[in-house]
Amino acid sequence: AQSVTQLGSHVSVSEGALVLLRCNYSSSVPPYLFWYVQYPNQGLQLLLKYTSAATLVKGINGFEAEFKKSETSFHLTKPSAHMSDAAEYFCAVSGGSQGNLIFGKGTKLSVKP
Amino acid sequence: GAVVSQHPSWVICKSGTSVKIECRSLDFQATTMFWYRQFPKQSLMLMATSNEGSKATYEQGVEKDKFLINHASLTLSTLTVTSAHPEDSSFYICSAIPLAETYIVQYFGPGTRLTVT
């Protein structure tokens, strides 16, 4: 069975600083991995996805994530945080035959001016 | 592209009444749609998988008679919360997988906030 662990329920960074949100997964098969962002009272927006192609995946808004099989990790990074990046971020792994997602508990990112 | 809408975005209903939430894929067809529930400051919990033309598959612990799901077309799935109670108050989010991207990417609707008084 697949599972996702997001380390740190709340991460706070200063504007312009590096953003690092951690995600570790467990999967018995080669996984599809995703990062989604959720702004207050909104649905989820896909940031990026890993589907067994390049291990370094670039997404929208300057985010990227690197798939490391040896570490079973898929951490999300952004070189320079912007105030508009403040949101909840969810890592997910695709499980099941119908493509249903298994989500981590989420990490709330705060950006200080 | 790949836009999913939900209607209504916010609904208040009285205890004992039923509420229908619509999920539409606006610019693609989807044989599979998912319904999630999200409590404040928590992650998404999958309630059911909806397949066009067939019965929905419910996750363990989700009452199928209370949360009725209908996926009558390739662009529309509905969730009806029957005999709603205050504990059903939550944020309900749907998602859809485009026909051409089966098993790869889910696109999410903006969510529906249900408040039962």
DSSP string, B69-117: EEEEETTEEEEEE-S--GGG-EEEEEEEE-GGGTTT--EE---EEEEE-
Q: Do B49 and A44 touch (CB under 8 A)?
A: no
Query: What would the mean pLDDT of B10-21 be, rounded to a whole number?
Result: 97
For tokens 């903006």, what's the residue?
B110
pLDDT value of residue B31: 82
- Is the pLDDT at B6 greater than 70? The verdict is yes
Query: What would the mean pLDDT of B30-36 be, rounded to a whole number?
Result: 91
Which of B23, B39, B43 is the best substitution to test chain A (most A C-beta atoms within 10 A)?
A: B43
pLDDT value of residue B92: 96
Per DSSP, the three-state class of A81 is coil
Predicted confidence band of residue B68 (pLDDT cuts 50, 70, 90):
very high
Mean pLDDT for all residues in chain A: 92
pLDDT value of residue B60: 92
Q: Do A44 and B44 touch (CB under 8 A)?
A: yes
pLDDT value of residue B40: 83
Closest C-alpha to B79, from B103, B112, B45: B112
Residues of chain A falling short of pLDDT 70: 96-98
Q: Which residues in chain A have Cβ-Cβ distances shorter than 8 Å to B102?
A: 99
- Is the pLDDT at B103 greater than 60? The verdict is no
Closest chain A CA to residue B110: A43
Q: Which residues in chain B have Cβ-Cβ distances shorter than 8 Å to A36?
A: 108
CB within 8 Å of chain B, chain A residues 13-32: 32
Please say whether the beta carbons of A76 and A47 come within 8 A.
yes
Q: Do A43 and B110 touch (CB under 8 A)?
A: yes
Please say whether the beta carbons of B117 and B12 come within 8 A.
yes
Closest chain B CA to residue A95: B103
Predicted confidence band of residue B100 (pLDDT cuts 50, 70, 90):
confident
Distance CA B44, CA B35 (A): 10
